[in-house]
Structure 1
């Protein structure tokens, strides 16, 4: 018999339990239904309850008058004690009084059928109730999927009843609080987690929600207490759940732990205050980037684009291309200056193995037009390759030193660039034949906005300040001394060798 039942239950048909103390009634109903349904039978109420717990049938045909536990008691137990209210129950009865029907409704019966059962009417009632049960099961599946989804979201989600008792909390929320969620269902939410100093405020908020009053904004912040009584700051969002008649039944709350976020915000505010006090940072962006660098770079870019439209000869196109390349380097320099401002509090930067000789050659080529226009000669003395540990920003050092040498030297002079072996370092120097720098000003030239005045030369003086900052970040030295082979200065810096 067990083998037969096992085979039947594999068919995928709906499972119907017939409960009747008369074997003939069970036989008749089985003959009506066996083609379309899997049939289980019980002859007593007690036996029926055991089967219901074990098999959870899809529908129950339940006789009312039975010895011992009658149909009313069985139905009440299933619907109220077993909490299996989603199993449809059709009561089969020869009783026709109004009171009997009322009693059946009170214990949870879904429908009634008079004995002896008409086959057509029986099939109609079963089909209708099973369709309803199918929809109910689908809704349960959707609800369970929603609950499973809520378990994976990164915020605490809870549902409270009108007495502020917890009726659902997602797994993430239980983990945040440190509780086993099965142990806190039906607990008073305010007593459970809300800090005592905020309890009355939160209760007032919940009361207003239950009265249909949604405050603006629809969120608030208050601390909660975990199971270890550790306080955490949460940002809460609220909504209400309603029944079919539109009555508010529950409060839905979601909370995000913003404890660390608030600490970071406080640190950020403190840091912003420090930055606000720094005139150097403000001056760097407002006086230099906006006025002295960005505007000329923008004009050069606009004029270059206009020239590209009118250029006809190959020479013109080549000159325009050189202008574009030089302006691009200027723009890169501006961006590097902005980065330097942001790196004021950084002690370290990333270094890569770099051929500084090749980098220097590339930089020198970009100044070819400027050198020719001033009839200057450039001498570059180096080894074949000079690998150093450097950040790409080191190119800005070459650019600034060469630019300054051209800017502050008279026409028809020579600029000499050297990369010398200096024990475990490379020493890079740029020598010009300009007016030189007095000893008293040698240190000051690396300070931003300190620049020796020279007629017909406009600039902000930021170049050498950028050089100094880049070298500081490299942990290397930079300086200037007099050019002993004639007028002018020699600017130098060191870099650690990369073998």
Structure 2
């Protein structure tokens, strides 16, 4: 920022220019002009911080100069004060329409002039500072390793970040306005992705859900991307487009295939499990954490509500990605453990904390959670049993309809406690009851996208406890009862 602000004074009367220069010369750097055409050249060459613009000038009046600066030069943030002897309402309206920020009536008093200039320059300084910080933050986001783009309701690209342009192999100006599905989706995937986008827009598919679709890049190669998409809604809740964010997982998929082949050769050795866990935690979790940090930075400095909503969508999708990576890494770690230690655990306290931790989701779905148990229910277990309760309650909330009831009950069955989670969801078909706890098995795939790791983690923890975990039908109607046993603390 220069030591002095630069002010351009434009008036065809030299005496007026001289008077204003005397008023302002000690405080500001002064640039002068005596006609509209010359003023426009000075705007481009001198880059003034503020313009004092006379209205009544020959050839090109002040309205025309102001309109050219705003529309043709596309300079929105140079404050323009129109200096005029005209006081009619229509004249002021004409100045506003041309893009003027303030008006001063001739003859001009020094006090009023100083007051208006100081006010407008303060606003400009704040705007320039915000713009600098925003551009810096967007620069960071551009280099995060995820494609982020906005599609309008006709699936045309209205915005794409630099990384997305790099992924696709085009300059951004070659991408804006292009129809996404027609231009970049292979023909054999078009119907599936149109169904996916249609479900997002109509609300039939939950936002931020994980899915995989290929795209065609500039050299004609197909690359597989993992997507976390969300509809964009206006203030009335109507869809205005879709926010898509994806990462190229082509090489990851190739690596996964190689790992699978290697796993068969090594018969699922613990060495491979440790390697996989390290990949999950370091090669995937760290970049996801960086994305979240940059997005949180953007949210803090962004003042535009629409952009804040877009950034909020990206942040929500990133949080879900981190949770999925953490679940998968946690399961891999559990599978490498054979023995665990046992202590006295307070079931009452753990369940109370679990329900309290989900209270936001419970209220959001207008659900009711009932807990039936004795005040003291102590068991023999490992502290990781809390993860079992968390996953089972999360599962019940996720798959149960709005306004339904979830019942958690701890029953005395002799030397053990039986803890059950009863929901009013769609239930689990008999054919799936034996496999629902297997890794990557998940029901309702058409409605809710996820990894299916949560119940696998539950099963592994219960196996380490040498206790039972199972699912039955809700005896009182629609839904399921997930239940487990724990030994009492004697």
Rg larger for: 1
Q: TM-score, normalised by structure 2?
A: 0.49
Higher relative CO (CA 8 A, sep ≥ 6), structure 1 or 2? 2
